């Protein structure tokens, strides 16, 4: 499943970031990730709800267990091949707002990018 591999990639990036941080800050180790914010490409064909569900499942037993995953749609930079108008799309509405032409040129819009990571600010662990 496409969503599962994307979720795994996101989790790897997040846990790697925490590992790097902990290596540099041995006195204040991060034990838990509270929230992750990511942006999904407009034409990625990924269902955010499926992605979130996959992530929650994969995150079990890692520092990201119980973390909230926020999925935003990344705005896609487009250009009309007819009139040259440059614009940004946030919805899959591939029509030039200037001339109504449907020949739109764009790059990317497929990926999933981790934008921000919030860690839990607990000083002590009570297990
Ligand atoms: Zn146009």
Distance (angstroms) between ligand 1 centre and the Cα of 27 equals: 57
Global pTM reads: 0.81
Distance (angstroms) between ligand 1 centre and the Cα of 77 equals: 14
Distance (angstroms) between ligand 1 centre and the Cα of 66 equals: 46
DSSP annotation of 41 reads -
What domains can you pick out in the chain, each with its CATH number?
2-74+108-119 (3.30.2320.50)
The answer to whether 73 and 42 are in contact (CB under 8 A) is: yes
Two tokens, residue 4: 């599962």
Q: What is the pLDDT of residue 99?
A: 98
Distance (angstroms) between ligand 1 centre and the Cα of 54 equals: 39
Distance (angstroms) between ligand 1 centre and the Cα of 79 equals: 8
Distance (angstroms) between ligand 1 centre and the Cα of 82 equals: 5
Q: What is the pLDDT of residue 1?
A: 57
**Taking the chain (127 residues) in consecutive chunks of 10 residues, what is each chunk's mean pLDDT?**
90 95 90 95 91 96 96 95 96 95 93 92 52
Distance (angstroms) between ligand 1 centre and the Cα of 103 equals: 8
Q: Where are the alpha helices (DSSP H) in the chain?
A: 2-24, 48-59
Distances (CA, A) of 16 to 23, 27, 32, 59, 69: 11, 18, 13, 13, 17
């Amino acid at each position: 499943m496409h969503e599962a591999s994307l979720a795994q990639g996101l989790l790897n990036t997040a846990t790697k970031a925490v590992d790097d941080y902990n290596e540099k800050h041995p006195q204040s180790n991060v034990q838990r990730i509270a929230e992750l914010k990511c942006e999904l490409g407009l034409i990625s064909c990924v269902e955010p709800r499926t992605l979130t569900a996959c992530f929650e499942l994969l995150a079990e037993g890692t520092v990201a267990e119980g973390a909230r995953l926020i999925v935003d749609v990344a705005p896609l930079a487009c250009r009309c091949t007819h009139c040259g108008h440059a614009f940004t799309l946030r919805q899959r509405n591939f029509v030039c707002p200037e001339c109504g032409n449907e020949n739109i040129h764009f790059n990317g819009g497929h990926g999933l990018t981790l934008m921000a990571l919030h860690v839990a600010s607990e000083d002590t662990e009570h297990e």
